Amino acid sequence: MKLRKAVIPAAGLGTRFLPATKAQPKEMLPLVDKPAIQYVVEEAVRAGLTEILIVTGRGKRSIEDHFDRSLELEHYLEEKGKFDDLKQVREISDMAEIHYIRQKDPLGLGHAVAVAEAFVGGEPFAVLLGDDIMAERHPLLTEMLEVHERYGRSVLAVTEVSRAEVSLYGIVEPEVVEERLSRVLSVVEKPEPDEAPSNLAAIGRYVLTPEIFDCLRGIPPGRGGEIQLTDAITVLAQQQAVYAWEFENGRFDVGNKLDYLKATIELAIDREDLGEGLRAYLADLVQRKKLL
């Protein structure tokens, strides 16, 4: 079955970016001139997923407002003859059919996915985490959908991390199938370095079969007292094949301050209106810092 639906969990509090996130969702922090979550929605749309559920929480209404029509703003831009801006604003609300549901309790990623069951309606679906931004030139999600179409099973995006970093991620126990593709035997959530089954970390993009919901219902709270999606995937992997698709570049963890800055710079450099001036500035900055 061809995928049509994507789920974007966006209920987290964003404490790593306090105080900026005290009164605004972390997903609305801008990368150049677009909020982070818009990049995620655009990625889903480029891959052909036009029915999107955003799982929100308290204090997240600005996300809904962003993807809604703003008639007053559109009228103002039209009156002022700012037609390029008007086109851009209208495209935001027209790019996909976006739905919303609240995760009432902060019980983890697995719980956030579980509340999407009615929306999914028994179909395979994609999960895109809002903290992970993929550069447009890296079509990771499209590649994962191609793997799903070939095998008809769930697919996880994975990338190599250092042994020192494995305790930050869900780590896959792989069985190699071909270059870049492995079968997942299990996923261990945030293991100690000497207990990790590999250094392949599951990163923010999943294509899941609907059987994942039965697995989520059947698991107890895991690490941190939360319902862990990785625990449910391990159960699913015992029932049917689950695959891991490996990638190397193009991902930014914008929940991390340094990666947030890197993403802002790299996304700006790739733009026609900003790239040339920013590259010149950065080159000059490096030279000036060398002289200090």
- Provide the token pair at 156: 């996880």
- Let me know whether 227 and 132 are in one domain: yes
Residue 235's pLDDT is what? 95
- Let me know whether 112 and 23 are in one domain: yes
Alpha carbons 143 and 207: distance in angstroms, whole number: 11
For the chain, what is the largest distance between any 2 Cα atoms, rounded to a whole number of angstroms? 64
Q: Are 103 and 58 in contact (CB under 8 A)?
A: no
Residue 279's pLDDT is what? 94
- Which amino acid type is present at position 127? V
Place 64 in a pLDDT band, splitting at 50, 70 and 90. very high
Which residue range(s) make up the domain with 282? 256-292
Alpha carbons 204 and 148: distance in angstroms, whole number: 16
Is residue 1 scored above 80 in pLDDT? no
- Let me know whether 244 and 261 are in one domain: no
- Let me know whether 70 and 159 are in one domain: yes
Predicted TM-score of the model (pTM)? 0.92
- Let me know whether 58 and 150 are in one domain: yes
- Let me know whether 215 and 270 are in one domain: no
- Let me know whether 242 and 276 are in one domain: no
Rg, Å, the chain Cα set? 20
Alpha carbons 3 and 48: distance in angstroms, whole number: 8
Query: What rounded mean pLDDT belongs to the chain?
Result: 91
Residue 184's pLDDT is what? 95
Residue 280's pLDDT is what? 94
Residue 292's pLDDT is what? 62
Closest-CA residue to 125 (of 50, 46, 181): 50
- Let me know whether 227 and 262 are in one domain: no
- Let me know whether 182 and 222 are in one domain: yes
Query: How do the residues of the chain divide into helix, strand and coil, expressed in percent and rounded to 5?
Result: 45, 25, 35
Q: What is the pLDDT of residues 3-30, one digit of tens each?
A: 899 999 998 878 888 898 888 899 999 9
Residues 6+ apart with CB under 8 A from 131: 12, 26, 36, 204, 253, 254, 255
Closest-CA residue to 245 (of 147, 165, 167): 147
Cβ–Cβ contacts within 10 Å for residue 210, how many? 15
Q: Which of 17-21, 175-179, 224-228 has the highest mean pLDDT?
A: 175-179
DSSP SS3 for 76: helix
Q: What is the pLDDT of residues 140-170, one digit of tens each?
A: 999 999 999 999 999 999 999 998 899 989 9
- Let me know whether 104 and 123 are in one domain: yes
Tell me the percentage of the chain whose pLDDT exceeds 70. 99
- Let me know whether 283 and 176 are in one domain: no
Q: Is the dihedral of CA 89, 90, 96, 102 positive or negative?
A: positive
Place 248 in a pLDDT band, splitting at 50, 70 and 90. confident
- Let me know whether 9 and 147 are in one domain: yes
Number of domains the chain contains: 2
